[in-house]
Amino acid sequence: GIAIVVDSFATLGEIDTLIHQNQPNAQLEYRRQFTVILNHHWPQFVTLELSFGIINNNGNLLGVSLSTDAAHEPYIDPTTVPLVAPILTMLEVKEKEFLKRLHSQKDVPESIMSNFVTAVNLDVPPEKRTNAMYQIERHTLQVAKARGFQAIVTANTGSVTQQLAKYVFEYDENLVVQLNEYRDPSGDLVFSHADPNQTMTISMKYIV
């Protein structure tokens, strides 16, 4: 499961590529640090029974979804994973901003499932990847409902998952972050080299 996530994000991740810029040594180190993060979170992914994998008729793992309880997300020191730190920091800052904005407008559910990552196996042919991601995203919502959560929150940096969340699953609340204009807590434009169309969205769907 971890290998599928690392391979998928390090190879195809739109924001991840901004970090390592497809430089072999940087990409290798990015993989190592991303693996450290997933290993750190893994016990919670497993014990909370919110994560899963989907397999095809041949028993091959097509993809995975890893989620946690938003109220008890494991913390990892960003300084231990400096390459991935800009993404982790942005996720933390913008998710807090997103929830604070919602709190000012309405009652926010107390029980929220946080979808940490979803990934499709690189072996899945391109023409079947969108359908595989759809199946994963749909089942993630089913898991949230079955486990009694009132809402699910997710951050999407890929165009496919962004479109699925907005147009197919119709997430209720969305915060769009323009990557080339995002400033970290120090004021640095860490993704200034991003394409003007590249965004990250933080989205919430209420479970009914």
Give the model's pLDDT for residue 147.
97
Cα radius of gyration (the chain): 16
Tokens matching residue 158: 């890929």
pLDDT tier at 73 (50, 70, 90 boundaries)?
confident
Give the model's pLDDT for residue 19.
95
- pLDDT, tens digit (0-9, with 9 covering 90-100), for 39-49: 999 999 999 99
pLDDT tier at 110 (50, 70, 90 boundaries)?
confident
Q: Residue 181: is its pLDDT beyond 90?
A: yes
With a pLDDT cut of 90, the percent of the chain lying above it is: 85
Give the model's pLDDT for residue 116.
94
Residue 177 has φ and ψ, to the nearest 5°, of -110, 120
Give the model's pLDDT for residue 107.
80
Chain length of the chain: 208
The residue type found at 175 is L
- With both helix axes pointing from N to C terminus, report the angle between 2-12 and 24-47 in degrees, rounded to the nearest 10: 140
Question: Cα dist. 146→72, 114, 150, 170, 173 in Å?
Answer: 19, 14, 10, 19, 21
- pLDDT, tens digit (0-9, with 9 covering 90-100), for 141-178: 999 999 999 999 999 999 999 999 999 999 999 999 99
Check: pTM over 0.85? Answer yes or no: yes
Q: Residue 113: is its pLDDT beyond 90?
A: yes
Domains and CATH numbers, the chain: 2-206 (3.40.630.30)
pLDDT tier at 75 (50, 70, 90 boundaries)?
confident
Beta bridge partners of 118: 65
Give the model's pLDDT for residue 160.
92
pLDDT tier at 179 (50, 70, 90 boundaries)?
very high
**DSSP H or E run through 84:** none
3-state secondary structure of 33: helix
pLDDT tier at 184 (50, 70, 90 boundaries)?
very high
Q: What is the mean pLDDT of residues 77-105?
A: 93
Q: Residue 105: is its pLDDT beyond 90?
A: no
Cα atoms in the Cβ-side hemisphere of radius 13 Å centred on 116: 26
